[in-house]
Amino acid sequence: MMVLKHCVLLPKLLIAFNMKNIAVIGAGTMGNGIAHTFAQSGFKVSLIDISEASLKRGMETISKNLDRMVAKEKISESDKTETLSNISTYTSIPEGVKNVELVVEAATENIDLKLNIFKQLDEACVEDTILATNTSSISITQIAAVTSRPEKVIGMHFMNPVPIMKLVEIIRGYNTSDKVTKTIMSLSETLGKAPVEVNDYPGFVANRILMPMLNESIETLYNGVAGVNEIDTVMKLGMAHPMGPLQLADFIGLDVCLSILNVMYDGFKNPKYAPCPLLVNMVRAGKLGIKSGEGFYDYSESRKAEKVASQFSK
Ligand SMILES: NC(=O)c1ccc[n+]([C@@H]2O[C@H](COP(=O)([O-])OP(=O)(O)OC[C@H]3O[C@@H](n4cnc5c(N)ncnc54)[C@H](O)[C@@H]3O)[C@@H](O)[C@H]2O)c1
């Protein structure tokens, strides 16, 4: 059986970082992927969510994704058992973050909710704990400002699906220290990821470039220039994109795309980031993409959604 290379390297690196216990807040799409990735690299992970149902769903997803890796002979059956045994679940933040060296927050994208979580984390965590957020668009500097340790607050923006995608966008807030940035960059490498350091401005780098392209694809559809399949085919076959932009928007979630565009529109005060009226209407109508069963494509049969997801993860 093939065992992931970074698992073998890890014990030495763990000692270097003095990091062994981490907490992940939120067991949704991103949170369970982040917990999976750390646990597979040998970290003890506290997975925390306010919802018992989310924790159960999150653990089921991790187990299914590990099964897929076993079937592909990327990990062994005992790697799977060990990974699962590295994860404990909690519904209370203070209980789950006791004695952790790092917290990665991946709760719902909502500014008030995140500020509230970071206030709680600041109170519950020991002084040295680094507080990271997986936010797609909210200012790291603003989140850091509600804590007493802004130099230890940083963005750790994983991509979906986390166990497969290599990139981690590491976002330095205005006050994030060099030491914390270096630690998180090196830590990301030990997870087998490729970290890239960027500064804290709306959309960071990934979404600042991606979202205008997705928005323009929606605008192209709205203007009647071409249909959904035609737009996606042009970008897939003409630009070698693995997934068409409208399909990708469905995969990310149209509500998430709208919220990121609004953050950039407000943050830069530039009309080039204004969300297309069709996107706004679809979100108002509850057409959010794969997660709601319908977006630019129809995912009413669960099989179809899975097919799209597996196509993306190849
Ligand atoms: N979905 C993506 O493709 C993607 C990609 C990169 C980053 N992100 C970011 O990751 C974060 C999570 O996104 P997601 O898509 O996983 O969302 P999601 O809706 O799938 O999951 C969010 C989870 O947070 C939990 N939660 C809400 N309030 C909480 C609280 N107070 N304490 C603990 N848990 C709480 C919810 O119960 C839910 O399980 C967001 O900040 C989002 O912007 C998402």
Q: Determine the atom of ligand 1 nearest the C-alpha atom of 57.
A: 39
Topology (CATH) of 7-199 = Rossmann fold (3.40.50)
- Ligand 1 pocket, 223 CB below 6 A? no
Residue with the smallest CA separation from ligand 1 atom 30 is 50
SS3 readout for 163-220: CCCCEEEEEECCCCCHHHHHHHHHHHHHCCCEEEEEECCCCCCHHHHHHHHHHHHHHH
Residue 241 is among the residues annotated as catalytic for this protein = no
Q: Which of these ranges, 245-249, 257-261, 300-304, has the smallest mean pLDDT? A: 300-304
pLDDT of residue 282: 98
Q: d(Cα 257, Cα 280) in Å, to the nearest integer?
A: 10
169, 217, 259, 294: the active-site residue:
169
Element (H, E) at 79: helix 77-85
Residue 129 has φ and ψ, to the nearest 5°, of -65, 130
- CB-based contacts of 178, cutoff 8 Å, min separation 6: none
pLDDT of residue 304: 55
> Average pLDDT in the 130-158 region?
97
> Average pLDDT in the 195-204 region?
97
134, 157, 215, 217: the active-site residue:
157
Q: Residue 118 to residues 34, 107, 113, 231: CA-CA distances in angstroms?
A: 18, 11, 9, 41
pLDDT of residue 302: 55
Higher pLDDT, 70 or 7: 70
Q: What is the CATH code of the structural domain delimited by 209-312? A: 1.10.1040.10
pLDDT of residue 70: 97
pLDDT of residue 309: 55
> Average pLDDT in the 141-149 region?
98
pLDDT of residue 17: 63
pLDDT digits (tens, 9 = 90+) for 258-280: 999 999 999 999 999 999 999 99
Q: Does 313 have pLDDT greater than 90?
A: no
Residue 169 is among the residues annotated as catalytic for this protein = yes
Mutate to test the pocket of ligand 1, among 108, 110, 142, 259 (most ligand atoms within 8 A of CB): 108
Residue 207 is among the residues annotated as catalytic for this protein = yes
- Write down the pTM of the prediction: 0.89
Q: d(Cα 289, Cα 68) in Å, to the nearest integer?
A: 24
Residue 46 is among the residues annotated as catalytic for this protein = no
Residue with the smallest CA separation from ligand 1 atom 39 is 28
pLDDT of residue 307: 53
For the annotated binding site, the residues are 26-31, 49, 109, 114, 136, 160, 291
pLDDT of residue 131: 98
Mean pLDDT of the chain: 92
List the chain domain ranges.
7-199, 209-312
Query: Binning pLDDT at 50, 70 and 90, where does residue 18 land?
Result: confident
For tokens 């925390």, the residue is: 48
Q: Are 149 and 167 in contact (CB under 8 A)?
A: no
- Ligand 1 pocket, 135 CB below 6 A? yes
